[in-house]
Chains A and B, each alone.
Chain A
Amino acid sequence: MADLEGIVFDIREWCLHDGPGVRTTVFLKGCPLRCLWCSNPEGQDAVPFPMPSHDRCTACAACQHACPQHCIPAPGTLPGNACTGCGACVSACPARRLRMVGQRITVSQLTERLLRDAPLLQRSQGGITFSGGEPLAQPDFLLAMLERLSPLHTAIETSGFAPEKRYRQMLDRISLVLQDIKCADDTLHRRLTGVSNEPIWRNIDQLRNSGIPYFIRMPLIPGFNDSTDDLRTTAQRLAKSPGNLLGIHLLPYQSVGSAKYRHLRRPYQIPHELPPLNPDIQHIFHDASLPASWPFGDTVA
């Protein structure tokens, strides 16, 4: 079998928020959603590109001179469409201001890198988590990786926006699913993420029927997706047949992504001042007999 190549934009060691035990989280590049609050906007596009990472540009123009496509309009800025992701500008920056978002890596290379820490991951009952972007946006690469990493514990953090067949294939190989739900209402979902949530709910149905343990994760942005009605609908749909649901993680909104939007020269659409968060969220799920909690705190950062 050919050694498939994928695009990874980060590998983080000792991740504590992405499943049990000590975990290494792999961020696969590319996502079909455009969530307004996305904290990894640099992971949305499928291709690698250079991103300014610090505010220390000395305007030396080394990046412009190094670019074989001549597509960097000004020192330390994002490249134009002709960028091939070759990384010449990143290597040329004496101020270490540029960071390559996304590197091509083969299944074998990534497996070797991840298995390096296998003893520690196993000792702590941890493993590997695939996040993104949307890991299922690189389905062949993801599935090949899951094959290779067996018998390590594997988890996926997914929007669930993927063809049913791909999602099912993933379920056949995964140990734990961290399944996102943004909201129940499809119109609202389209407005917040750019896509319909119908395919997501179909995949959630597969998930509940699979017997695979899973957590639901809900990023809650005050005034955007915390209305009682919508949350109640979500709770009712989940409560019908929860399958192997381990819990619902309520995630407070984090504004950490906003600086990245500035670097990416993209507008950040979540306002600085937000209304107070709906105080009833946890009750709504408890009323439906669902185990919901704020495992990482409920403070709005």
Chain B
Amino acid sequence: MDNRIAEMRESLLAGRHHALRHRIAWNLAETFAAQKTPAEMRAAAALEAVLAAELPAFLPGERIAFLRTVANLPELYTPQEWEELRARYSFSEKGIPFNFTPDYASAIHIGLDALATNISQRIEQARQDGDSEGASFLAAGLRGVQAVIDLAERYRIAAEKEGLAEIAANLAVVPRKPPQTFLQALQMFRILHYALWCEGSYHNGTGRLDLTLWPYLQHDLQNGTLDRASALALVEEFFLTFNRDSDLYVGVQQGDNGQSLMLGGCDRDGNDVWNLFSELALEASCNLRLVDPKINFRVSERTPIERLELGSRLTRAGLGFPQYSNDDVILPALQKWGYALEDARDYTVAACWEFVIPGVCHEFVNLDAISLPQAVLETMEQSQAADYPSFLHDLAADLRSRAKALLAHYENLTELPGPFISMLCPIAIQKARNITQAGKYHNWGVHGTGIAVAADSLTSIRQLVFQSHQLTLADFAQICKQNYAQHQDLLAQVRNTIPKLGQNSPEADRSLDDIVALWQHAWDGLQNAQGGIVRPGTGSAMYYIWHSRNFPATPDGRLQGEPFSANYSPALDVPVDGPLSVIRSFTAPPLDGVSNGGPLTIEIHASVFTAPDAEAQLAQLIADFVRRGGHQLQLNSIDRDTLLDAQKHPENHRDLIVRVWGWSGYFIELDKEYQDHIIRRAEMTLHG
């Protein structure tokens, strides 16, 4: 990191640019309501208004422009309208496009002028076809494209006035024309990504940047205008841009903003993807040590160990990424779910870890979650099973009914249009519809929360109820509901003598196999309201906290209100044998039926990295995970003492980054509940 980048980084972290922001007292919704403005035109008018209100601003030293100066976005509907909408429809989260990665390359490679021409021609076609709905939608999209061009022009003029010749020259090319240099490509990406947030879309993934941006970098390397060092500085500055406005992108917690980037894997034809951009991305992230963009890395049995070592170097930096996904599992899983091979090969992650195909569809991959421990506990109360297989049968029926109830709840699922984001998806232009409708696939993703607690509970039930006949299902359920009161001996027994996941126990691992199979098959043959299927996953999102709050004790010895582990990981407070045993347990079941996303998370104590060859050995661990058929892996390097000190003295730990559930954030910005969960996870770190 050179001085210029270091100073820009410091300035960003200090938030000096926040002084350039202003808030606007928007009242568009009232006007829209009064005029009964159609949904797509509301989105278009709002984007125009936001971009028109933007004031071109430049940060000292920058070469890639565009900064959010409008701090707040307008509402598109009045509270009363929202009430009516929610009475008629169900929505996923805010009801607008999110958790989504468009096809940035489709616009970057041709430029916005050509894109606008394409859209105009398609509007004409729609009119000729009598498709007024389509024509109106495309017209809304076109307004967005034009508004982006207009703002870029105002930026260009301002840059010229301020003597920022390079920025002005670049903006004379992009976004209207295709970029001619790597820097222009970065500038264009920045503009598009920035505009998506201005339209209101959130959790906007960046997609596969070593595919999108490599041709431009390659070009500049070949003609000698860039070398490795100057390219690295550009990638570093580009990565800084993802942190300029990220404090405005609030998710459930600060940092949960979905700016995820994918490296590696293969292209649509199956060719290996790995180039200098991939390497520079890992290096830039390692140097910058910022929460955005969050790096993901597609690997397979064929990935050279040296690449995994590069990834391990970034893990060592303690940012909680890269997160790995295993193509050997994910590609077949996606194909099994009906994705065409070339689409499957193009997968990326939506925001945290849900696998999506960029640009060709917008699926609700983070729709909702089902608590697996709740299913276990409630089945215990109802079931008359005389043996373990019968109990599993009853549990399967319970999960099936939960699956159906969830689908019924979302029978009227809809989404408000994102015309601009749709214009970055050629299929949406072609079909003249919002990407959600126009997309090639319409599958939904549902998380299964508390999978380790559920699996460990099954082991307790099998051993105590059906093998030793120590107590009945109903009694066990009752004891759980009473939080093991008066049954401390049983609590000790289940905690200390029943094997758990991660403890080198085939008996415990068998239970994971059982619950994974039940979770997968609960969705067999069910169709969602859009005509797609449901993809069950092993992620938890924030539900590991939400579902466990006030939830009764469980047969694995977890007490009332104690949190579940995040995602696909050993239960909290369970002493595991080590990372090899954890990987064995969590790769025991076939995972290609539950691959919506949701990583095995392994916490490694920061002191491990004092070993000189730690990166090489971490690479071996990742390779072992891949070879064993794991689907997704998240490795965190943390130190409990540092976390505790940060809780006490946040002022000394401004830069401390931690992985939360599928994203990394600044520790001191998290709610205490999430901080405490990470500290509990840190107690179980592996020392190596």
Contact = CB atoms under 8 A, between A and B. Distances in A.
Interface of A: 11-17, 20-22, 24, 60, 62, 90-94, 96, 99, 113, 116-117, 120, 123-124, 126, 295-297
A94 B489 CA distance: 7
Interface string B573-592: 10101111100000000000
Given A14-B688, A94-B492, A296-B610, 6 more contacts: A16-B614, A20-B613, A90-B496, A117-B580, A120-B620, A124-B616
Contact of A296 (B577, B611, B617): B611
Contacts of A21: 617, 620
State the 9 A-B residue pairs at the shortest beta-carbon distance, nearest first: A13-B578, A16-B611, A94-B492, A94-B491, A124-B620, A13-B580, A296-B610, A94-B488, A16-B688
B621 to A, nearest CB: 6
Nearest to A98: B496
Nearest to A123: B620
Interface of B: 484, 488-489, 491-493, 495-497, 504, 573, 575, 577-581, 608, 610-614, 616-617, 620-621, 623-624, 686-688
Contacts of B491: 94
Contacts of B621: 14, 22
Contacts of A17: 610-611, 688
B107 to A, nearest CB: 45
Contacts of B686: 13-14
Contacts of A62: 488-489, 492
B496 A124 contact: no
Contact of A14 (B493, B613, B617): B617
Contacts of A11: 577-578
21 contacts: A12-B578, A13-B579, A13-B686, A14-B578, A14-B580, A14-B617, A14-B621, A14-B688, A16-B613, A17-B611, A22-B620, A24-B578, A60-B488, A91-B492, A93-B492, A94-B489, A96-B496, A96-B575, A123-B623, A295-B611, A296-B612
A37 B370 CA distance: 50
B620 A92 contact: no
A135 to B, nearest CB: 19
Given A60-B488, A113-B504, A12 B687 contact: yes
Between B492, B608, B611, the greatest number of chain A beta carbons within 10 A of the residue's beta carbon is seen for B492
B640 to A, nearest CB: 12
Contacts of A91: 492-493, 496-497
A42 to B, nearest CB: 15
A139 B611 CA distance: 29
For B493, B579, B688, which residue has the most chain A Cβ atoms within 10 angstroms?
A: B688
A60 B487 CA distance: 12
A96 B573 contact: yes
Nearest to B613: A16
B489 A92 contact: yes
Contact of A22 (B484, B575, B617): B617
Contacts of B610: 17, 296-297
Contacts of B624: 120
Per DSSP, are chain B's interface residues mostly helix, strand or loop, or mixed?
helix
A218 to B, nearest CB: 16
B578 A16 contact: no
Nearest to A15: B688
B489 A295 contact: no
Contacts of B578: 11-14, 24
A93 B608 contact: no
Contacts of A92: 489, 492, 496
Contacts of B575: 96, 99
A284 B614 CA distance: 28
A60 B486 CA distance: 12
A181 B491 CA distance: 46
A93 B688 CA distance: 27
Contact of A16 (B484, B504, B573, B617): B617
A93 B489 contact: no
Contacts of B492: 62, 91-94
Nearest to A13: B578
Contact of B577 (A13, A60, A99, A124): A13
B209 to A, nearest CB: 31
Nearest to B607: A301
B495 A94 contact: yes
A296 B608 CA distance: 9
Given A60-B488, A94-B491, A120-B624, A16 B581 contact: no
A16 B493 contact: no
A215 to B, nearest CB: 13
A242 B497 CA distance: 50
Contacts of B608: 16
Contacts of B489: 62, 92, 94
A21 B616 CA distance: 8
Nearest to B612: A295
Contacts of B623: 123
A13 B688 CA distance: 7
Nearest to B492: A94
Nearest to A58: B488
A84 B491 CA distance: 24
Contacts of B613: 16, 20
A22 B575 CA distance: 21
A252 to B, nearest CB: 9
A99 B575 CA distance: 10
Contacts of B581: 13
A94 B688 contact: no
Nearest to B687: A12
Nearest to B559: A94
A124 B620 CA distance: 7
Contacts of B614: 16
A120 B611 contact: no
Nearest to B579: A14
A246 to B, nearest CB: 13
A296 B613 CA distance: 10
B580 A124 contact: no
Contacts of B580: 13-14, 24, 117, 120
A31 to B, nearest CB: 20
B110 to A, nearest CB: 47
A13 B496 CA distance: 21
A26 to B, nearest CB: 12
A13 B578 CA distance: 5
Contacts of A99: 575
A16 B613 CA distance: 8
B684 to A, nearest CB: 11
A93 B496 contact: yes
A114 to B, nearest CB: 11
Given A13-B577, A15-B688, A124 B497 contact: no
Nearest to B496: A91
A15 to B, nearest CB: 6
A195 to B, nearest CB: 28
A8 B686 CA distance: 19
Contacts of B488: 60, 62, 94
Contacts of B497: 91
A120 B627 CA distance: 10
A126 B581 CA distance: 17
A275 B70 CA distance: 56
Contacts of B573: 96
A96 B577 contact: no
A283 B489 CA distance: 59
A270 to B, nearest CB: 19
A117 B504 CA distance: 11
Contacts of A123: 620, 623
A93 B616 CA distance: 40
A231 to B, nearest CB: 22
Nearest to A21: B617
A128 B496 CA distance: 28
Given A13-B581, A14-B688, A94 B484 contact: yes
Contacts of B617: 14, 16, 21-22, 124, 126
B688 A96 contact: no
Contacts of B688: 12, 14-17
A14 B620 CA distance: 10
